Each structure stands twice: as C-alpha cells, then as structure tokens.
Amino acid sequence: MRIALIWEHLYMVFWAVIFSLVIGLPLGVLTYFYPRVRKTILWVVDLFQTIPSLALLGIIMVFLGAGKVTVITGLTLYSLLPIVRNTYLGLREVDPALKEAARGMGMSRSYQLFHVEMPLASPVIFTGIRIAAVNAVGTAVFAIFVGGGGLGSLLYNGIRIQNMSMILKGTGILMLMAMVFDFGMGRMEALLSRRAVGKTRVSSGCAE
C-alpha cells in the first residue's frame, strides 16, 4: 500500500515539474527578451507563491473538481517562480562579451539563444528546476485534501488516529524522497556547471 502511495506521490510531482518547465522556460525567456513584460510575469508567478498551498488547491478544485489534475495544476503554478526567475537570471548573467562575439559571428537571435546563452545559463536554470522539484515533493502532501492521494494520506490518517509510528514513517519517506531528489539533481547541476565552464573557455577562445 505504501509503495502505491509513493508512486502516486511521484506521479503528481513528476508531471507538475514537466508542465512547469513547459510553461516556465518560455516565460523566463520572455522576461529576458522583453523588459516591458518582465515585471508583470515575475509579479504573477510570485503571486502564486503568496497564496497558501491548500487554499490554492481548494480554489482550483472549484473549477477542475477533486483529483490529481487539481493537484498537478496547483503544483505546477507553485513551481513556476524558481524556474522563471532562474531562467531570466541565468540568461542575464551570461558574459556580455560572449553575446557580442556571437552577434559578431553573424548568429541569429534564436540561434544565439539556443546554442550559446541557454547552454551557458543551464546551471542556474537547473538550480531553479531543482528547487521546484524538492518543493513539490513537500507541497504534494496536501493532495489528500482535494482527492489526489499520495503520501499525504499516510500522514493524515496517522494524525487522525494519533498513530505516531505512521506519522514518522510518512515523514521519513518524504524526507528521504526530497534528499534523493536534491542529491541527484545536485550532481546533475555540478555536471552542467563543468560543461558551462568548458563552453565559456571555448567561446572566449573563439572570441579572441
């Protein structure tokens, strides 16, 4: 039964992170390219963070009904801020000399974005994805209150019947899950950082 709850929890987290990437990365690029919409986009994604997670899920449930779709939608909205903000910051912090060199080589704006700026910004972007994923693991416990299931049901039942063993087991599984996500994605982040440093050196050599 607990294995099923773990997979149910991971299922909601996985799709929430995927959808937040599909939405968040383009929004981050927009904030980088268009200063006029930057404040609006960052304000909107920041606004979602100010709404208590259970309240947000309740509002969404009114429109989508109870179930995993409501949970995934809520987690997606909660995960947008770190992804959008880090995409913008990562692109903004790329060395201006490298951007100038890319333009001097005749690269189009889109080619420069996908072949120069995004690879160099990938460590910072991935940090945002890492934060979003770890946060989603914890926030998904509220799925039980909107019919989504997951590990939140283990904690809820433990509290309801005052079973400390059940509460500790649920908490331990969540902590372990978050640590595995954090450690695994931290290793990937370090790998991306090394690749970005190597690409920077190569690009700097070409610019010279």
Specify the pLDDT at position 206. 46
Q: Is the pLDDT of residue 199 over 50?
A: yes
Instruction: For residue 35, give the CATH number of its domain.
Output: 1.10.3720.10
Residues 157-185: what's their mean pLDDT?
91
Q: Is the pLDDT of residue 200 over 80?
A: no
Comparing CA positions, the residue from 108, 107, 95, 89 lying closest to residue 196 is: 95
**Is 11 inside a domain boundary?**
yes
Contact 37, 26 (CB under 8 A): no
The winner for highest mean pLDDT among 171-175, 195-199, 203-207 is: 171-175
**Is 167 inside a domain boundary?**
yes
> Which residue carries 């690879």 as its tokens?
119
Distance separating alpha carbons of residues 8 and 1, to the nearest angstrom: 11
pLDDT digits (tens, 9 = 90+) for 2-40: 788 999 999 999 999 999 999 999 999 999 999 999 999
When divided into structural domains, the chain yields a total of: 1
Specify the pLDDT at position 117. 92
Distance separating alpha carbons of residues 200 and 9, to the nearest angstrom: 39
Distance separating alpha carbons of residues 184 and 14, to the nearest angstrom: 15
pLDDT digits (tens, 9 = 90+) for 66-124: 999 999 999 999 999 999 999 999 999 988 888 888 888 888 888 899 888 998 999 99
**Is 60 inside a domain boundary?**
yes
User: What's the pTM?
Assistant: 0.90
**Is 93 inside a domain boundary?**
yes
**Is 206 inside a domain boundary?**
no
**Is 188 inside a domain boundary?**
yes
Average pLDDT, the chain: 90
Which residues span the domain enclosing 92? 2-201
Residues 129-145: what's their mean pLDDT?
94
Residues 40-66: what's their mean pLDDT?
94
Q: Is the pLDDT of residue 201 over 70?
A: no
Contact 78, 19 (CB under 8 A): no
CA 1 from centre of chain: 28
Residues 142-165: what's their mean pLDDT?
91
Contact 111, 52 (CB under 8 A): no
Comparing CA positions, the residue from 118, 115, 44, 110 lying closest to residue 86 is: 118
Tokens matching residue 13: 């987290």
**Is 8 inside a domain boundary?**
yes
**Is 208 inside a domain boundary?**
no
